[in-house]
Chains A and B, each alone.
Chain A
Amino acid sequence: MATSRDDFIIAIRSAFLKKTTKQKFSLLTLVFLSIFIIVLSSFNFKFINILRSFLNEGVYRASFIVSVPENFILNSYLSIIEYSSFYKKYKLDKEELENLRSENISNEIIISENKELKNLIEDYRFSTNKILAKVIVDHDSPFLKTIIINKGSFDNIKIGTNIYDKNYLIGRVIEVNYKSSRVLLLSDLNSSVPISITPGNIQAIIVGDGKNIGEIRYIKDNLIEDVKDQSIAYTSGTGSLFKSGIPVGKITNTSGKFYINFYSDFEQLKYVFAEIEQKYDRENASNFNENKELTEAAINNTEKIKLDLLSEELEILNQTNNKFLEENKTLKSQLNDFNSKILSLEKKIKSQKNLINQNQIDQKELEFLRLNLIYSSKCKKTAFGKGYKVGTEEYRNCILRKGKI
C-alpha cells in the first residue's frame, strides 16, 4: 500500500517538476505563471492593458496572415455559389430596386424631418462620422461571436462604438487597441440590445443565441400579443449603449418564442462601418457660437434637402396636372359630339313618332271605309227609312257601330 502511494507521489512530482534538457521551465512554474496572469487580467491593471494591447496588435496581424489560405479557399467557394445564383438574384434585386425607388422620396422626407425633430428634443447634437474598417480576423468561434477590425484608438474608436454593416447595426466595440479593435456581435450570448418593435412601439431587449439569430427577452407579458410576425426591430437608444432608430432585424414567431433575424449576415462580413461620435454640448458657453452656426447650418441643410424634395414632388404633381388637363379637353370635345348626336337622334325619334301617328289615323280611316262599304245602306238617310246624312258625325258613328242606328 505504502509502495503504491510512493509511486503515485513520485509520478506526480515527476510530472510537475521534472525538466528534460530541452525544457526551460517546469510545468508547475508555468501553471503558477498562468494563474498569475489570469488574476492580473481580472483586475484590469493599466500596465497589463498596455501589454495586452501590444500583444493583440501582433497576434491579430499574425492571425490575419495565417488565415489567408483558409479565407482564400472559403471565399472562392462562396464566390462560385454566388455566381451560380447570380441571374436569379439579379432579377429579384431589380424588382426590389423598383419597389424601393418608389418608396425613396417619402422616406427621405421622413428622415430629414426626423433629424430636425431630434435636434429639437436632444440637449446634445452629435456630428457622426462613419469610417470604413476591414475585418481582419473572423473565425466564427462557437464560444464567443466576435470579429477584429483594423481600426483602433488611433482612428478615434472607443469602447462602445457602434459598428454597422451598410446601415444595419451588427455590434459594438468591446476592446480597443492602437490600430485594431474587437467587436462583440449582436449574435453573441453576452450581447444585449434594447429595441423598439414596430408597429406598436413595444420596448424589449434582444439577446444573442450564440449562433446567428437573437432572442427577444424582457418584454411585458401583456404586450406579447401585440408583437406580430415580420415586425421590424430597431434600436430604442435606452441605456445609451446604441443610438436610437438603427434597424436591427425582423421578428419571427417560432412556437410561442420570438426571435429576430438580423438584417446583416454576420458570417459574410468583410468591411464594416464604425461610427465615431463627436459630442457638442449646447450649454457650453465657449462653444455656443460655433455650435449655433453648426446647428443653423445643419437646419439649413435639412431644410434645403426638404425644399429640394418638395420641389421634386411639386414637379411631379405639375406633370400629372397637365396630363389631367389634356384628358379633360379631349373628354369635353367627346361630350359635345355626343350631345349633337343625341339631338339628331331625338329629331329622328320625333319624326318616326309622327309617322306612326299618321299610320294609325290612316288605319282607322281605312277601317271606316271598309265598314262604310258594308253598312252604308243601313246608316244612310233614305225617303223611307231612318238614317243619317252622309258626311255627318252621327253617320260615321253608325258605320263604326256596324249599322246600328
Chain B
Amino acid sequence: MIKFEKNNYIYKLYKWLPILALYISVLNEFDFNYLNIDYFSFNFPFILIFYFALKEYNKFDHLLVFLAGLINDTVVGLPLGISSFSYIVVCIFASYLRNITIRPHLIKDWFYFLFVISLINSINYSILFLFFSYDLDIMFYIINNLFTFLFYIPASFILNYYFRMIND
C-alpha cells in the first residue's frame, strides 16, 4: 500500500483530493454523457458529498461544497443557488445519519442515500418546474437517480481505500 510522509506536499495534495475531485466534477460535469447512451447520467458530486459528510472528513468544508454548488449552477445553466441548496441538504441528511448511527452499515447507508437523492431531485424538479417554468424530462431525473444510487457502492469501496491510505 502507498504510504506518505506527513509533511510531504503530495500528502497535502492527497488530503485535499476529495474537494479537488468535487470541483473538477462540477466544472467538467463528470457524468459520461458523451457515451451517448440514452438517458444515461449520474450525479457524481452527490456521491462524493454524501460519503465525505457521512465520514465527517475535516477537509470537506461545507462552504466549499456550497461554492461548488454555485459553480455547478453556472456551468449547467440552472438558476443560481439550486445546486448549492441540494448539496447542503445532502450534507444535512448525512450529518443526521452520522449522529443517529452507532454502528455504520454500508447497505443501510446505501438505501438512505437513495431516499436522500430522490427527495432532493424531486425538490429540484419542483422548484425548476413551478418557480422557473423550466421544461424538464422527468425520465432524465429518474434514471439519473437510479444510476447515482447504483454507483454509490463501487464509489464507496474506492473512497474507503482512499481513507485507509490517509489514515495509514
Contact = CB atoms under 8 A, between A and B. Distances in A.
Nearest to B25: A66
B80 A38 contact: yes
B131 interface: yes
B77 A182 contact: yes
Nearest to A212: B36
Interface in B32-82: 33-34, 36, 38-41, 56, 58-59, 61-63, 66, 69-71, 74-82
The 5 closest A-B pairs by CB, nearest first: A37-B81, A38-B81, A15-B95, A139-B29, A34-B85
Given A11-B100, A31-B92, A211-B38, A66 B24 contact: yes
Contacts of A267: 34, 36
B27 A140 contact: no
B88 A30 contact: yes
A52 B92 CA distance: 27
A42 B84 contact: no
A101 interface: no
Contacts, number: 143
A38 B24 contact: no
**B interface, size bucket:** 35 or more
**A interface, size bucket:** 35 or more
A233 B61 CA distance: 52
Given A59-B74, A140-B33, A34 B61 contact: no
Contact of A31 (B28, B89, B127): B89
Nearest to B88: A30
A315 interface: no
A190 B69 contact: no
Contacts of A218: none
B120 interface: no
A210 B137 contact: yes
Given A12-B96, A34-B85, A55-B74, A25 B41 contact: no
Nearest to A184: B77
Interface of A: 7-8, 10-12, 14-16, 18, 20-27, 30-31, 33-38, 40-42, 48, 52, 55-56, 59-60, 62-63, 66-67, 70, 74, 137, 139-144, 146, 175, 182, 189-190, 210-211, 267
B79 to A, nearest CB: 5
A140 B39 CA distance: 12
Contacts of A66: 24, 27-28
B77 A146 contact: yes
Given A31-B88, A141-B29, A41 B62 contact: no
B122 to A, nearest CB: 15
B92 to A, nearest CB: 5
A33 B63 CA distance: 11
B91 A63 contact: no
B167 interface: no
B99 A14 contact: yes
B85 A143 contact: no
B76 A143 contact: yes
Contacts of A27: 62, 88, 91-92, 95
Contacts of B136: 143, 189
Contacts of A34: 66, 69, 81, 84-85, 88
Q: Which of B61, B71, B135, B140 has the most CB of A within 10 A?
A: B135
A139 B29 CA distance: 6
Contacts of A15: 92-93, 95-96, 99
A323 B29 CA distance: 66
A52 to B, nearest CB: 6
B81 A70 contact: no
Contact of A41 (B28, B79, B96): B79
A142 B85 contact: no
B64 to A, nearest CB: 10
8 contacts: A8-B100, A23-B61, A24-B63, A30-B84, A38-B85, A55-B70, A189-B136, A210-B137
A20 B66 contact: no
B140 A210 contact: yes
B75 to A, nearest CB: 5
